């Protein structure tokens, strides 16, 4: 993989300044000369970086007026936030633990049997990874449903949606689950 060109690095630095709030949406960036001095590069490099950022839709260049930071578009309804597998796992620990506590006080014998069936499907060495993964998902969604709180249930559904739809998160979980099935003695969690 090749090194990023200088203008790409400068564009990334400008984006970092925007994200830190130094240049909020609607504000004017400093002139080329000032930015070049501040970032220790030539005006040509700053100009190339600004052109790249305009192409990405992050800034707008108004001839004779300056360079302005564009407002980031609001996330589309239902869009998933870009989170790490670590952050998602931490949220799961809090939300699913509370869902389990709530479910424990209201669970029926039939629901216990259903959960036991899902545990058997998860741990059956003859089942495929896909089948075990689906049983795991159904297990956690069932506990959230049994908890009897629609907000908790929605949160658990959203967590599983992020787990399955965010590529980086999906890959981390796939690797962990694959290794747990290959090396059960190294399991990171156990169901009751």
Q: Look-up: residue for tokens 């930071």?
A: 69
**Can you tell me the mean pLDDT for 175-192?**
54
Domain 6-69 in this protein, CATH class: mainly alpha
Is 151's pLDDT higher than 90?
yes
Closest CA to 89 of 189, 190, 192: 189
Is 73's pLDDT higher than 70?
no
**pTM for this prediction:** 0.55
Specify the 3-state DSSP secondary structure of 68.
Answer: strand
Question: Is 118:135 a contact under the CB 8 Å cutoff?
Answer: yes
Question: Is 58:15 a contact under the CB 8 Å cutoff?
Answer: yes
**Can you tell me the mean pLDDT for 82-98?**
91
Closest CA to 48 of 84, 8, 15: 8
* Spans of all domains in the chain: 6-69, 85-186
Lowest mean pLDDT among 18-27, 37-46, 147-156: 18-27
Question: Is 102:148 a contact under the CB 8 Å cutoff?
Answer: yes
* pLDDT value of residue 100: 97
Long-range CB contacts (< 8 A, 24+ apart) of 32-37? none
Q: What's the gap between Cα 185 and its chain centre? A: 29
Task: Please give the residue that has the higher pLDDT: either 81 or 44.
Answer: 44
Is 95's pLDDT higher than 90?
yes
């Amino acid at each position: 993989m090749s090194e990023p060109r200088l203008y790409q690095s400068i564009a990334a630095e400008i984006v970092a300044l925007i994200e830190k709030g130094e240049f909020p949406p609607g504000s004017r960036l400093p002139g080329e000369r000032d930015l070049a001095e501040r970032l220790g590069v030539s005006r040509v490099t700053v100009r190339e970086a600004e052109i790249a950022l305009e192409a990405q839709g992050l800034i707008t260049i108004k001839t004779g007026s300056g360079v302005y930071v564009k407002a980031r578009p609001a996330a589309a309804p239902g869009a998933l936030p870009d989170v790490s597998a670590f952050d998602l796992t931490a949220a799961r620990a809090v939300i699913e633990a509370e869902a389990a506590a709530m479910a424990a006080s209201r669970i029926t014998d039939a629901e216990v049997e259903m959960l036991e069936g899902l545990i058997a499907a998860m741990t059956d060495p003859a089942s495929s990874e896909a089948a075990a993964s689906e049983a795991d998902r159904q297990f956690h969604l069932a506990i959230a449903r049994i908890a009897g709180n629609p907000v908790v249930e929605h949160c658990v559904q959203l967590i599983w949606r992020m787990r399955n739809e965010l590529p980086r998160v999906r890959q981390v979980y796939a690797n962990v689950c694959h290794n747990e099935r290959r090396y059960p003695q190294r399991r990171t969690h156990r169901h009751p």
